Amino acid sequence: MNPRYFPLAATVAIFLLAYLVCYLQYPNMLSTRVIGNLLTDNAFLGIAAVGMTFVILSGGIDLSVGAVIAFTGVFLAVLLQSTAIHPLAAFGLALVITTAFGALMGAIIHHLQMPPFIVTLAGMFLARGMAFVLSIDSIPIRHPFYATLKGLYYKLPGGGRITLIGGLMLAVFAAGMLIAHRTRFGANVYALGGDIATAQLMGVPVGRTTVAIYALSGFLAGLAGIVFSLYTSAGYSLATVGVELDAIAAVVIGGTLLTGGSGFVAGTLVGLLIQGLIQTYITFDGSLSSWWTKILIGLLLFAFILLQKGLIHISDRRRRAAATVPAAS
Amino acid sequence: MQSDNPLVLAATGIDKSFPGAKALDQVDFSLRRGEVHALLGENGAGKSTLVKCLTGAYRRNAGRIVLDGVEVDPRDTLEAQNLGIGTVYQEVNLLPNLTVAENLFLGRQPRRFGLVDTREMNRRARVLLAQYDLDIDVAAGLSGYSVAVQQVVAIARAVDLSGKVLILDEPTASLDAHEVAMLFRIVRRLRDRGLGIVFITHFLEQVYEIADRITVLRNGRLVGTQEAAGLSRRDLIAMMLGRELADAADDAHGRAAAGAGEVRFRFRNYGRSGRIRPFDLDVRAGEVVGVAGLLGSGRTETAEILFGAERADSGTAEAGGRRLDLSSPRAAIREKFGFCPEDRKVDGIVGDLSVRENIALALQARRGWARPLGRAEQDRLADHYIKALDIRTTDREKPIRLLSGGNQQKVILARWLATNPDFLILDEPTRGIDVGAHAEIIRLIESLCENGMSLIVISSELEELVAYSSRVIVLRDRAHVAELSGERVTTAAIVEAIAATERAQA
């Protein structure tokens, strides 16, 4: 097998193994109901994680995601509470703002040659601060259109439901895979993650691509914010603290190299489902503290970082072996 | 011969300066259609700078570039590529994390319904590589293939994109003989298709194997352009190392055999496989041993192995009957060794630290972190050497990167002198510094050796080497091939020794 599929294969194997363990203990977990809930409960995180996958594939990081989700939620709640605007128009407005916000961060990263970590950290504080400026209270959303949207679902055999937001997440993943693997933009993202200087020499429009990557992440964070507001029917500026870190965890557990250039959008979906599965298991168990989710995810992350280090080590050694043979002969 | 072929590229009067140094001075270079033109010169001669000016990676200060009869002025490598000038570097400039096909078609992937048509892209990649007799899985990651294959992929991409001029910058540096033969087959085929090919290398036998014409640069100046067939190896080496053989007779001497003293350091069968073949070396107290050879002959490798930067895997090192531990630079420093590396910007200076801190560095390293060097002591050291070596700096707290090249070199020398070494290795101590500083460094070397220090000096400036060395070791193909001493230390003899082994190889 091609070594670059190892991390993805490891992720899928861990997911199947984990599901098997869960199933043996709680046979009920293998039902469309649980799967449907898994998708619905993690929809906003999954959508944000798709954006994060692109950012990490390009060798960057986006720490503003959680704050942008919270901002979007508060923005929608305030807008729907104080004006008569239709939610769809509000959604569009929110997406325009968050996309522009991401594009701005990308432009700063490229033009000022600043590390993404610092720029998006600033973005995180800014977005969170803007959410507080709009409102410090949790504002409920009681618009009838919300109820309509929440009532939309596709019924699976066995009683499970693919809700609108769960389905939206799957659609975003499908679109993400298409963009990553079947467009020139996608190839450019991988090229940037491989080596920016080389990519530039090979004619990749580095600036445009960087801006587009962070704009995409901003757009998807905005979309995740809309989904989160549908999910909770409220906007609260203290919500989704640390979600960017969960998204990064999903990406890394999904087999994407944190240094960029290697990984798959599909892997992120599996990484997300592993996180969701651990949570579901703890819910089923009932006696375990929910902090076990964090502990297990922490351990998994360690395991994957070790796996990545190991793979890099192996491929380095292989390359060095190939390089020293001629020198010795 | 292709001598009647029209010019595809003509550069005249190219000037390029960097702050504090003139990298290219009125260099002319011309390339005919369907020729392989070797561009030769030692490190720092200006080969890469010239190539970078042609490909737009650098902006030249003056001069004209005419491509196919039209004056061009590429602002970056992309523009040069679109004009028809493609470049392949020694370090393959492709993306190892992408597939072979993606590397070939990045930015111009065939599309269907707006999406990349991977199957069509792979098909075209196979067709393209078939022209180079390369039948590989184009959908596999590039990193899985050998450097030679990556090199061919890089050439295929460059030719496909540009198609008039192909610049190969040391493409064979990490290839074995078989791979070089494959590469040369491809180069010949491209030449026959009418491409102008610039070939940069330091392997002279390869130059004679493939080049039609040869241009030699030295110290940023054009030495000359000649037909390869009419140029002897001896003359070529003399052109590269900067010595007209005609007036070689009068430069005789070498330092008087001051080396009558005891042998202080004794290396036997010392070497490391793949880096430098085992050699014997004796160094006396108060002696300068020069090391000469072309680029890539193993000069720097010799220095690194003596200092423990590369660990020897055979042989012994002794001083006064005692075995020396040279397993790492730290161990070597403990044995009172010192080493000023070739590329001081990368390996030597710590740019943001002050002159004082840079001087104290090696001494502190030898004392270990538990016994810090007091500030007063550091100040005393710094002031002493700034005065003794005439380091020109406004004060000792100035960051070293703000100093000129020659003064940086003196600070590094001071760093090692502060450790009071018995054995000092200098790799190209006069590279990239102005003429005045040259003379000072040479005076310094001579006075150090009068004080009883043992020195090994590596230099491609033969006249300099001859001036201060009592013996000269000649290297070739990563082996010590000759040792000249006393009367025989002349530039002519060194050139002869390098060329002789060249002939033996050919």
The domain segmentation of chain A, as residue ranges, is: 3-317
Cα gap A153→A159, rounded to integer Å: 12
Do B426 and B415 fall into the same domain? no
Beta-strand ranges (E) seen in chain A are: 139-140, 153-155, 161-163, 234-235
Residue A316 token pair: 């380095």
Cα gap B12→A94, rounded to integer Å: 59
For B117, phi then psi, to 5°, come to -90, 90
Measure CA of the first residue to CA of the last residue in chain B; give whole Å: 22
Residue B488 token pair: 């025989």
For B318, phi then psi, to 5°, come to -135, 150
- CB of A323 less than 8 A from some CB of B: yes
Residue B303: enclosing H or E segment and its boundaries? helix B299-307
Q: Are A322 and B146 in contact (CB < 8 Å)?
A: yes
pLDDT, tens digit, 9 for 90 and up, residues B226-252: 888 888 887 888 888 765 544 444 444
Conformation bin of residue B198: beta by default, left when phi > 0, alpha when psi is -120 to 50: beta
Residue A199 token pair: 């990519």
More confident residue, B250 or B88: B88
Q: Which long-range contacts (CB under 8 A, 24 or more apart) does A104-112 make?
A: A105/A62, A105/A64, A105/A214, A105/A218, A106/A210, A106/A211, A106/A212, A106/A213, A106/A214, A106/A215, A107/A207, A107/A210, A107/A211, A109/A60, A109/A210, A109/A214, A110/A206, A110/A207, A110/A210, A110/A211, A111/A207
The pLDDT of residue A94 is 97
The DSSP string of B199-238 is EE-S-HHHHHHH-SEEEEEETTEEEEEEEGGG--HHHHHH
Q: If pLDDT is split at 50, 70 and 90, which confidence band does B449 have?
A: confident
Q: How many CA atoms lie within 13 A of B411 on its CB side?
A: 32
The pLDDT of residue B125 is 94
Do B445 and B379 fall into the same domain? no
Q: Are A322 and B147 in contact (CB < 8 Å)?
A: yes
pLDDT, tens digit, 9 for 90 and up, residues B278-312: 888 888 888 888 888 887 788 888 888 888 888 88
The pLDDT of residue A95 is 97
Do B266 and B323 fall into the same domain? yes
Q: Are B175 and A203 in contact (CB < 8 Å)?
A: no
Strand order in the sheet with B263-272: B276-284, B263-272, B314-319, B322-323
CA distances from B122 to B99, B118, B125, B138, B326 (A): 10, 6, 5, 6, 52
Best mutation target, A58, A195, A198, A320, to test chain B (most B CBs within 10 A) = A198
Do B400 and B414 fall into the same domain? yes
pLDDT at A45 over 90: yes
The pLDDT of residue A328 is 34
Chain mean pLDDT for chain A: 89
More confident residue, A5 or B200: B200
CA quadruple A286, A292, A293, A296: dihedral, nearest 10? -130
CB neighbours (10 Å) of residue B87? 24
pLDDT at A170 over 90: yes
**Nearest residue on chain A to B102, alpha-carbon basis:** A187
More confident residue, A316 or B407: B407
**Nearest residue on chain A to B110, alpha-carbon basis:** A184
pLDDT, tens digit, 9 for 90 and up, residues B34-81: 999 999 887 667 888 898 888 888 888 889 999 988 898 888 888 888
Residue A60 token pair: 């960057």
- CB of A4 less than 8 A from some CB of B: yes
The pLDDT of residue A3 is 67
Q: Domain with B183 in it: what CATH number?
A: 3.40.50.300
Structural contact between residues B339 and B307, judged by C-beta atoms closer than 8 angstroms: yes
Q: What domain count does chain B have?
A: 3
For B196, phi then psi, to 5°, come to -95, 125
More confident residue, A193 or B18: A193
CA quadruple B71, B73, B74, B79: dihedral, nearest 10? -50
- Answer yes or no: is B52 within a domain: yes
- In the listed set B231, B256, B289, which residue is the last one of a domain according to the structure? B231
Do B22 and B165 fall into the same domain? yes
Do B356 and B450 fall into the same domain? no
Residue with tokens 């965890």: A249
pLDDT, tens digit, 9 for 90 and up, residues A196-224: 988 988 888 999 999 999 999 999 999 99
CA quadruple B376, B381, B387, B389: dihedral, nearest 10? -160
Residue B274 belongs to domain spanning: 245-336+422-506
- CB of A321 less than 8 A from some CB of B: no
Q: Are A315 and B143 in contact (CB < 8 Å)?
A: yes
Which residues in A lie closer than 8 A to residue B147 (C-beta atoms)? 322-323
Structural contact between residues B211 and B37, judged by C-beta atoms closer than 8 angstroms: yes
Q: Are A323 and B107 in contact (CB < 8 Å)?
A: no
User: In this structure, which topology does domain A3-317 adopt according to CATH?
Assistant: ABC transporter involved in vitamin B12 uptake, BtuC (1.10.3470)
The pLDDT of residue B382 is 85
Do B262 and B311 fall into the same domain? yes
Do B499 and B453 fall into the same domain? yes
pLDDT at A326 over 60: no
Do B206 and B82 fall into the same domain? yes
Pick from B106, B146, B177: which is nearest to A202 by CB?
Answer: B106
- Answer yes or no: is B105 within a domain: no
> How far A311 CA lies from chain B's nearest CA (Å)?
13
Q: How far is CA B314 from the centre of its chain?
A: 26
- Answer yes or no: is B359 within a domain: yes
Chain mean pLDDT for chain B: 82
Q: How far is CA B313 from the centre of its chain?
A: 25
- Answer yes or no: is B103 within a domain: no
The pLDDT of residue B488 is 79
Do B382 and B318 fall into the same domain? no
